[in-house]
């Protein structure tokens, strides 16, 4: 796997600029643009659906499954995300993803295909959730302003962490932009900068935070928060196994000096790899 040690802004900027003057190949360019458009539309819809649905404590959605089957349907919506998400990150999942794109471009479009599927999964949770109709608590006045600020901060931390890890990979842009330029995808190196200096799993921590910093609390929101937080605790252990195999001693040294999910008060010297 090709990697690059460039900083996130330079890496993304260079990749994006390269799409402005692609090599000839109308079919390849059309496929790349189609995948890119689909990926970013679905990705945007999924993020907006998640932000808005959780803001109202999962009390507003399009799901209308009758009780008591609605509980099972909602549980299925939660479970399908980590199950498929983790499966596709495995070696078998990668080979499966590589077969989904036409014209033999599956490997190049792998990150884009993965982002499309993950976005559809998230969109399904928040668009098709069946609300219980029970509201336990709703913030008001100054409390509402404060919680909204914390909720916004949680999302900003998630965006920041995703950018530090490689925005082109997290958003799915790496695949279609590489195909557009007729080059092999160049993955970012092991992330150690930005929020990754503080903890090893800032994306998962920020993702979990978004589920607990909402201004409306319902049984739905609690169930969702517990389910997704459990995923955020378990999934990184699988990720770190992959990193241990891929980066060896470099990851072992990074793991030794940077805490898993909770920052420490003691000063730790960080060295960019």
Q: How far apart are CA 23 and CA 210, in angstroms?
A: 41
Which range is least confidently modeled, 127-141, 168-182, 258-272?
Answer: 258-272
Mean pLDDT, all residues of the chain:
92
62-120 pLDDT tens trace: 999 999 999 999 999 999 999 998 889 888 888 999 999 999 999 999 999 999 999 99
What pLDDT shows up at residue 266?
59
Percent above pLDDT 70 for the chain: 95
What pLDDT shows up at residue 10?
82
* Distances from the Cα of 46 to the Cα of 30, 69, 152, 226, angstroms: 24, 24, 17, 20
Per-residue HEC secondary structure of the chain comes to: CCEECCCHHHHHHHHHHHCCCCCCCHHHHHHHHHHHHHHHHHHHHHHHHHHHHHHCCCCCCCCCCCCCHHHHHHHHHHHHHHHHHHHHHCHHHHHHHCCCCCCCCCCCCHHHHHHHHHHHHHHHHHHHCCCCCCCCEECCHHHHHHHHHHHHHHHHHHHHHHHHHHHHHHCCHHHHHHHHHCCCCCEECCCCCHHHHCCCCHHHHHHHHHHHCCCEECHHHHHHHHHHHHHHHHHHHHHHHHHHHHHCHHHHHHHHHCCCCCCCCCCCCCCCC
- Say if CB 120 and CB 39 are below 8 A apart: no
What pLDDT shows up at residue 8?
76
What pLDDT shows up at residue 273?
43
What pLDDT shows up at residue 244?
95
> Which band of pLDDT confidence, cut at 50, 70 and 90, is reported for residue 168?
very high
Q: What is the mean pLDDT of residues 40-64?
A: 97
> Which band of pLDDT confidence, cut at 50, 70 and 90, is reported for residue 265?
low
More confident residue, 175 or 271: 175
More confident residue, 29 or 9: 29
Kindly report the pTM of this predicted structure.
0.90
pLDDT of 53 strictly over 90: yes
Percent above pLDDT 90 for the chain: 84
191-248 pLDDT tens trace: 999 999 999 999 999 999 999 999 999 999 999 999 999 999 999 998 999 999 999 9
- Say if CB 12 and CB 186 are below 8 A apart: no
Q: What is the mean pLDDT of residues 150-178?
A: 96
pLDDT of 4 strictly over 60: no
């Amino acid at each position: 796997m090709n990697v690059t040690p460039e900083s996130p802004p330079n890496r993304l900027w260079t990749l994006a600029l390269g799409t402005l003057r692609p090599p000839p190949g109308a079919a390849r360019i059309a496929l790349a643009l189609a995948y890119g458009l689909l990926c970013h539309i679905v990705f945007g819809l999924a993020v907006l659906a998640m932000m808005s649905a959780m803001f109202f404590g999962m009390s507003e959605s399009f799901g209308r499954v009758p009780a008591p089957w609605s509980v099972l349907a909602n549980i299925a919506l939660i479970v399908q995300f980590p199950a498929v998400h983790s499966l596709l990150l495995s070696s078998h999942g990668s080979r499966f993803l590589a077969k989904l794109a036409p014209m033999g471009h599956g490997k190049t479009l792998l990150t884009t295909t993965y982002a499309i599927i993950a976005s559809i999964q998230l969109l399904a949770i928040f668009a098709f959730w069946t609300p219980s109709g029970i509201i336990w608590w709703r913030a008001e006045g100054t409390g509402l302003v404060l919680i909204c600020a914390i909720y916004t901060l949680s999302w900003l931390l998630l965006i920041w962490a995703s950018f530090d890890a490689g925005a082109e990979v997290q958003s799915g842009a790496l695949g279609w932009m590489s195909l557009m330029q007729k080059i092999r995808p160049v993955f970012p190196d092991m992330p150690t900068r930005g929020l990754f200096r503080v903890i090893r799993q800032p994306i998962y921590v920020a993702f979990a935070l978004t589920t607990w910093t909402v201004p409306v609390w319902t049984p739905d929101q609690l169930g969702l928060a517990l389910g997704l937080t459990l995923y955020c605790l378990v999934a990184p252990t699988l990720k770190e196994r992959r990193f241990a195999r891929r980066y060896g001693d470099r990851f072992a040294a990074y793991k030794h000096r940077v805490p898993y999910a909770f920052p420490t008060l003691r000063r730790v010297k960080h060295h960019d790899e």
